[in-house]
Amino acid sequence: MAEIVIVESAADAGGLVADEIVRLVRTRPDAVLGLATGSTPLPVYDALRSRLSGVDVSRVRGFALDEYVGIDPRHLESYRNVIFREVVEPLGLDPARVRVPDGSLEGIAHAGDDYEAALADAGGVDLQILGIGTDGHIGFNEPGSSFASLTRVKTLTAQTRADNARFFDHPDDVPMHCITQGLGTILRAKHLVLLAFGAAKAEAVAGAVEGPVTASLPGSAIQLHPHVTVVADEAAASQLRFADYYRYTWAHKPEWREL
C-alpha cells in the first residue's frame, strides 16, 4: 500500500519531498529524477533550490513525463521550456542530462520508442514526481489508458484541456495531443511520489489511493507499485476514507524508515 502523508500546506509537502530527493542525490550522485510539470510540483522545485546548494548535482539526470505535440518549441508553456525554466536552471542541473519527450511533428512516429530507449539507457527513474489530473490522469495518461502502456501519443480530454487553459492565452490554444510516458513506463520507476493539493483533486486522490484499480482512473495504477508515497494537503485528502489511519501511521512512523 502507498504511504499517505497528509500535510498542512503545499510548502510542507515541497519540503518533505525535497528532503527525500536531496537524500537520494547524496547517496546516488547520478540519480535519475522523473520530473512532472504543471502547478503541483512547484513547491518541491522551490524547496530544492536552497536544499541543493552545496550538493553536487553535476551528474543528476532528469526525464520529464510528457510534452504537448506540435507546440512551438519556443512557446513559454512547452514542457521543454517549463522544465528548463522551473527545474534545470534554478537547480543548476546539466541541461544535457535532462530530457523531455520530443513533441515535434517530424519524428513523432518514433519519439515514444526513442524516449523509452533513453530511459532504459539511463537505468530507469529512481524517484518519479507525479501530479494528478482532476480526471485521474497521471502523466497525460487519460482515462482508459492501458496499464502496460509505454511512451506514446495521446489525445487530451476536454477536461484536461480546460484545466490547462490557464497556461495559455486562449482555451483553444491548448494542444489537442500530447506525448506521455505510459502507465507501464511510470510503474517501472523505483519510487513514485504523487502530490496533490486542493479540493479539486480530492475525488481523483481518493480514487487513486482507495478506489478499484481501473484504467478508468489511471492514477489507481499506483496501487500496483511496491513503493509509493502520496503527499496531499487536507483539501486533497478530504475524501480519503482511511485518512485517520494514514495520519496515525505517519505519526507513529519509526525513525529508521525512510519515505
Provide, rounded to whole angstroms, the least separation between the CB of residue 76 and ligand F6R: 15
Distance CA 29, CA 22 (A): 10
Give the Cα separation of 221 and 214 in Å (integer): 7
Nearer to ligand F6R by C-beta: 157 or 249?
157
Distance CA 31, CA 124 (A): 10
- Beta carbon of residue 195, minimum distance to ligand F6R (angstroms, whole number): 8
Q: How many residues interact with ligand F6R (rule CB under 6 A)? A: 14
The correct pick among 13, 18, 25, 65 for binding ligand F6R (CB under 6 A) is 65
Q: Which helix (H) or strand (E) holds 250?
A: helix 243-251
Exactly one of 133, 136, 182, 211 binds ligand F6R (CB under 6 A); that residue is: 133
Q: Which residues are catalytic?
A: 66, 135, 137, 142
Minimum CB distance to ligand F6R smaller for 39 or for 146: 39
Applying CB under 6 A, the span of 21-29, 135-143, 206-214, 244-252 interacting with ligand F6R comes to 135-143
Grid cell, residue 254, equals 519509526
Q: How far, in Å, CA of 15 to CA of 222, rounded?
A: 22
**139: contact with ligand F6R by CB under 6 A:** yes
Taking the complex as a whole, the smallest distance from the CB of residue 157 to ligand F6R amounts, in Å, to 11
Q: How far is the CB of 108 from ligand F6R (least distance, A)?
A: 18
Separation CA 50–CA 72 (nearest Å):
32
Whose Cβ is closer to ligand F6R: residue 46's or residue 55's? 46
d(CA 12, CA 232) in angstroms, rounded, equals 10
Binding string, 11-50, against ligand F6R, x = CB under 6 A? Answer: -------------------------xxxxx----------
Q: What are the grid coordinates assigned to 256, written together? A: 529508521
Least Cα distance to 2 among 130, 125, 120 occurs for 130
Please report whether residue 66 would count as binding ligand F6R according to CB under 6 A.
yes
What residue type is 220 in one-letter code? S
Residue 139 or 175: the one with the smaller Cβ distance to ligand F6R is 139
Q: Binding of ligand F6R at residue 208 (CB under 6 A)? A: no
Which strands sit side by side in the sheet containing 66-68, from one edge to the other? 66-68, 177-180, 152-155
Determine if 131 is a binding residue for ligand F6R (CB under 6 A): yes
List the strands of the sheet with 228-233, edge to edge.
3-7, 228-233, 191-196, 127-130, 32-35, 61-64, 98-99
Among 137, 152, 154, 191, binds ligand F6R (CB under 6 A): 137
User: Where do we find the cell 533550490?
Assistant: 49
> Site residues (CB under 6 A) for ligand F6R?
36-40, 65-66, 131-133, 137-140
